[in-house]
Amino acid sequence: MSGGITRVGVVGGGQMGAGIAEVCARAGLETVVCEVDAVAARAAQNRIVDSLDRAVQRGKLSREAADDAQARLVFTGDLDALADRQLVVEAVIENPEAKTEVFAALDKIVEDPAAILATNTSSLPIMRLGMATSRADRVVGLHFFNPVPVLPLVEVVTSLHTTAETTALVEDFATRTLGKTVIRSQDRAGFVVNALLVPYLLSAVRMAESGFAAAAAIDAGMELGCAHPMGPLKLADLIGLDTVASIAESLYDEFREPLYAPPPLLMRMVEAGLLGRKTGRGFHIYDQG
């Protein structure tokens, strides 16, 4: 891979996967987005096109650059289309079984033994995913933040098997090619950001659950009293309450600290399908139009 990474694959075209694919395409990379089927692939394409159009409307991107980025994107429902990729980033649902299945399949499909398999997991052990392959030394965490085209941070997470060469290639890719800022983390649940952020979000959920204060008051308190750009419950809604719950469960499984345990209200909301912005209702109500 002496010429650098130029061919990228992204597995999953949801909010995070679409954002990762978009920044790769905007950086001049030939990018293949793989979804579960052709219908989901078209939805991913529409998601990226809409995001690029918004960037043009806001003056953040020229129309020519947006069109060039679109031309570099291929959408498919066939995982075999990733066979020639130099880097594949997995961005499917935050579920260990689903992610492990993807890594086991990619290990057989991606032809170049030097190719890197990365995960955008928010909290799951990189080691577990690496051991589902025959190339654990080429498996790494590459955790982006939502919205990917806007937020500058990427966490690079290495397992006990990840080589220094793999780490260097991924850091160079994230910084030089994508223009992101990289911080390194040990392979511990939550990594750096979510290990700090999620207990704060769960504390806000417990405050609402107890009736101590209403959701609007909790968010206003942190926005206006602490100058946070977004209150904790609004942020949880943006992340997705199912994702927040999954991260909390991973943190609690690893550390067994009460502050990481997902509150009952959060779990009931997930069971009810009230997941935040993506479903139109979480701790707040959102316009789905």
Q: What is the pLDDT of residue 24?
A: 98
- 228 counts as catalytic: no
- Of 279, 9, 32, 17, which Cα lies nearest the Cα of 117? 9
Average pLDDT estimate for 39-60: 96
pLDDT in tens, 157-194: 999 999 999 999 999 999 999 999 999 999 999 999 99
Domains present along the chain, CATH in parentheses: 7-185 (3.40.50.720), 195-278 (1.10.1040.10)
Confidence of residue 1 (pLDDT cuts 50, 70, 90): low
Measured at the alpha carbon of residue 10, what is the angle toward residues 109 and 280, in degrees to the nearest 5? Answer: 135
Q: What is the pLDDT of residue 288?
A: 76
Which one is catalytic: 51, 90, 120, 122?
A: 122
Q: Is the pLDDT of residue 155 over 90?
A: yes
Query: Sheet containing 116-119: which strands, arranged edge to edge?
Result: 73-76, 30-34, 7-11, 87-90, 116-119, 139-144, 153-157, 181-185
- 122 counts as catalytic: yes
Q: Is the pLDDT of residue 289 over 70?
A: no
Q: What is the pLDDT of residue 104?
A: 98
Q: Compute the Cα dihedral for 232, 236, 237, 238 and give only its sign.
A: positive
DSSP string, 36-70: SSHHHHHHHHHHHHHHHHHHHHTTSS-HHHHHHHH
Q: What is the pLDDT of residue 123?
A: 87
Which one is catalytic: 51, 120, 159, 194?
A: 194
Q: How far is the C-alpha of 76 from the C-alpha of 95, rounded, in Å?
A: 22
The pLDDT mean for the chain works out to 96
> What is the Cα 254 distance to its own chain's centre?
20
Q: Is the pLDDT of residue 234 over 80?
A: yes
Average pLDDT estimate for 251-271: 96
- Calculate what percentage of the chain has a pLDDT beyond 70: 99
pLDDT in tens, 104-132: 999 999 999 999 999 999 889 999 999 99
The more confident residue out of 265 and 95 is: 265
Q: Is the pLDDT of residue 281 over 90?
A: yes
Q: Do residues 176 and 27 lie in contact, with contact meaning Cβ atoms separated by under 8 Å?
A: no
Q: How far is the C-alpha of 118 from the C-alpha of 179, rounded, in Å?
A: 18
- 155 counts as catalytic: yes
Residue 77 contacts by C-beta under 8 Å, 6 or more apart in sequence?
A: 34, 35, 36, 37, 38, 39, 40, 41
Q: Is the pLDDT of residue 2 over 70?
A: no
Which one is catalytic: 22, 94, 155, 250?
A: 155
- 146 counts as catalytic: no
The continuous run of DSSP H or E covering 9 comes out as: strand 7-11
> Residue 119 in 3-state DSSP?
strand
Q: How far is the C-alpha of 236 from the C-alpha of 284, rounded, in Å?
A: 10
> What is the Cα 87 distance to its own chain's centre?
16
Average pLDDT estimate for 21-48: 97
Average pLDDT estimate for 221-241: 97
DSSP string, 225-273: HS--SS-HHHHHHHH-HHHHHHHHHHHHHHH--GGGSPPHHHHHHHHTT
Confidence of residue 3 (pLDDT cuts 50, 70, 90): low
Q: How far is the C-alpha of 57 from the C-alpha of 62, rounded, in Å?
A: 9
Q: What is the pLDDT of residue 14?
A: 93
Q: Is the pLDDT of residue 66 over 60?
A: yes
Which one is catalytic: 123, 143, 159, 246?
A: 143
pLDDT in tens, 183-193: 999 999 999 99
